[in-house]
Structure 1
Amino acid sequence: MAKRQVPKVPGSDSAGSKSRWKLIIVMVIALLAVIAASVAATWFFLANKTVAEQAAGSEHATEVAAPVRQVAIYQVLTPAFVVNFKQDGRQRYLQVSVALMGRDQVAMDALKEHLPLLRNRLVMLFSSQDFATLMTPVGKEMLRQQATAGIQEQAQKALGKPVVEQVLFTNFVLQ
């Protein structure tokens, strides 16, 4: 009997496969070298800029420097919020611990007088949500953004400025 010959598929030989792998490896190494060079150049220029600012003196450095952002201040709302839902004939619960982040201590202290109003706004917002939506990360983020907008609106009405930069969920439990 004669041996049956299998037709060769172009590019399926081991020599061509090895050369293709070598080319890929060389390209990856070249890409890593470019990234390392850009990081080194950035570090070099930033380090030189800092040295130049220090050499120019403190007066010139303060004129060139951008305004420094104030430190974040956190106001934790205690106790945690607990709301209930009816989902498919079953009772479901949501427990959320909330912290308000602002940057102005005086304004945050003034906001403390309005905490009952803020808590009421958050309870109404949390209890009006769909339980199934809250189970997704997108639903949680949307709720956080709605809470931030609601608190900023209340602070604007009460104090004339939005005071709170972000509402943060420090604990989020669905049951």
Structure 2
Amino acid sequence: MAKKQAPPTVPPTGPEAEPAGKGKLKLILVIVVAMLVAVGLSIGGTLYFMNKGGDLGDDKAEEAATTASGKQPAIYEVLMPAFVVNFSNKGRQRYMQVSIALMSRDQAALDALKVHMPLLRNRLVMLFSSQDFEALKTPVGKEMLRQQATASVQELAQKEIGKLAVEQVLFTNFVLQ
């Protein structure tokens, strides 16, 4: 009994040559690459148009803000170190720590005021140490102290440099103990 031998198989050539698994893998790879390119182009186009329009818009918005309100942008000068003063309250020693920032719209006037910083700090320390602890515990008392500090700094600026260099004194940190 003779067994039949099958003719030798020749590997197919052409489109039928690839197994089904490799064809699907290539298709998925092409789709993923196409999606990545589309997302990249979308992000790139968005950034290009936002940046292009943003530069012109920022300049126009800044000019409009200064001309419409007539004011320059605010400049802040933080006074370091923070003020720490002590005062007596009903025989008990109390402490206050205040961090201050000066708000101005004129950098030249603010720089001129920096020359008189020891005098300014002295005025503020004297003002802070003369306060009543009970009044400072309330928000109204803190706001009154801020307004007094603003008036004191403006008075010093007017006297020393001839103009109001500081628009407001701002408390950035306020601790009572």
- TM bucket, shorter chain: 0.5 to 0.7
Deviation digits for residues 6-58 of structure 1 (CA, Å, limit 9, x no counterpart): xxxxxxxxxxxxxxxxxxxxxxxxxxxxxxxxxxxxxxxxxxxxxxxxxxxx9
1:1-175 to 2 correspondences below 5 Å: 66=68, 68-175=70-177
In structure 2, C-alpha distance between the alignment counterparts of 1:120 and 1:134, rounded to whole Å = 20
Q: Tell me the alpha carbon deviations over residues 139-159 of structure 1, each in whole angstroms, 9 at most, x when there is no partner.
A: 000000000000000000011
- Separation (CA, whole Å) in 2 of partners of 1:67 and 1:134: 35
Quote the offset at 1:127 in angstroms. Answer: 0.4
C-alpha deviation, 1:89, in angstroms:
2.2
Q: Show CA shifts across 1:58-104 (max 9, x none).
A: 9xxx8xx6354201001111110011121122211000001100000
Structure 1 runs (4+) deviating above 2 angstroms are 65-68
> Which stretch of structure 1 is more off in the superposition, 142-151 or 84-93?
84-93
Shift of 1:162: 1.1
Q: Highest CA radius of gyration, 1 or 2?
A: 2
Aligned residues: 113
SS in 2 for 1:66: helix
- Give the TM-score of the pair, scaled to structure 1: 0.62
Aligned partners of 2:104 and 2:148: how far apart in 1?
A: 17
Q: Distance in 2 between matches of 1:74 and 1:119?
A: 16
CA RMSD of aligned residues (A): 1.6
Q: Which runs of 5+ in 2 are unaligned?
A: 1-59
Return the offset for 1:163.
Answer: 0.8
Amino acid of the structure 2 residue aligned with 1:113: V
Identity %: 74
Q: Which amino acid aligns with 1:135?
A: K
2:82 partner SS: strand
- Residue type at the aligned position of 1:85: F
